[in-house]
A and B are shown apart, each in its own frame.
Chain A
Amino acid sequence: DTTVKQNPRYKLARVGKPVNLICSQTMNHDTMYWYQKKPNQAPKLLLFYYDKILNREADTFEKFQSSRPNNSFCSLYIGSAGLEYSAMYLCASSRALEQYFGPGTRLTVL
């Protein structure tokens, strides 16, 4: 099973409220990634976990948090959503160079 699952598929949030997105995989992959995708733009890597080590990209360092309680699950946390966070959020996992993606969570902030 090469499935990466994401919940929820659609999320509506109010400005200033927290948002928590969930990703899971059962392939025993050591690395899990979160990307942000906005219309007409390339998917942008936000952060990734290699095993238990979190790596956040420099330009999104303070905007997103994440946790990985075990090998299978990884969350993406926004402490206070702003309108600019409206986007598709893609989770992926890998053991080597090939990444397997989930279907994404579409977040709309109002």
Chain B
Amino acid sequence: GDSVTQTEGLVTLTEGLPVMLNCTYQSTYSPFLFWYVQHLNEAPKLLLKSFTDNKRPEHQGFHATLHKSSSSFHLQKSSAQLSDSALYYCALSDRGSALGRLHFGAGTQLIVIP
């Protein structure tokens, strides 16, 4: 079945250092991948998606590249900001599912300190 693995439950970084949050997946089909971000007491919001017309998806300084050979969609940013502190979910949508059923990873809590 489809599944998503986020190996880090908690990542603590100093402001200005690069961010990399890991996401690997298993899927029968060729899936769509997403990153969602949830700030404290807010709704999860879509940050990136893997399908953007042949361009590398980027948003708010974050980017991610879908690597089918390694089944990965790691989230990266060159320089962490205090406001990046949040819970990050990687999610997969099976292209075979027209109804957009999402499979989530457990999430990575990112804490950025001064």
Q: Across the interface, do A97 and B32 meet the contact criterion of CB distance under 8 Å?
A: yes
Contacts of B93 in A (CB 8 A): 97
Option from A33, A40, A48, A101 in Cβ contact (under 8 Å) with B43 = A101
Q: Across the interface, do A40 and B106 meet the contact criterion of CB distance under 8 Å?
A: yes
User: Chain A contact residues: over half helix, strand or loop, or mixed?
Assistant: strand
A-B contact count (CB 8 A): 50
Interface size band for A: 20 to 34
Q: Across the interface, do B99 and A48 meet the contact criterion of CB distance under 8 Å?
A: yes
> Nearest Cβ in chain B — how far from A5, in angstroms?
9
Q: Across the interface, do B43 and A45 meet the contact criterion of CB distance under 8 Å?
A: no
With A42-B4, A42-B106 in contact, is A99–B100 under 8 Å at CB?
yes
User: How many chain B residues have a CB neighbour from A under 8 Å?
Assistant: 23
Task: Convert B65-93 into 0s and 1s, putting 1 for each residue whose CB lies closer than 8 angstroms to a CB of A.
Answer: 00000000000000000000000010001
> Nearest Cβ in chain A — how far from B68, in angstroms?
18
Kindly state whether residue A8 has any CB partner on chain B within 8 Å. no
Q: Across the interface, do A94 and B100 meet the contact criterion of CB distance under 8 Å?
A: yes
Interface core residue of B32, B93, B100, B106 (most chain A CB under 10 Å): B100
Q: Across the interface, do A103 and B102 meet the contact criterion of CB distance under 8 Å?
A: no
> Nearest Cβ in chain B — how far from A30, in angstroms?
9
Q: Across the interface, do A41 and B106 meet the contact criterion of CB distance under 8 Å?
A: yes
Contacts of B101 in A (CB 8 A): 45, 48
List the 3 shortest-distance A-B pairs measured between CB atoms, nearest first.
A42-B104, A101-B44, A103-B43
Given contacts A35-B104, A48-B101, 12 further A-B contacts (CB under 8 A): A31-B99, A33-B102, A42-B89, A42-B105, A42-B106, A90-B44, A94-B100, A96-B100, A97-B93, A99-B102, A103-B42, A104-B43
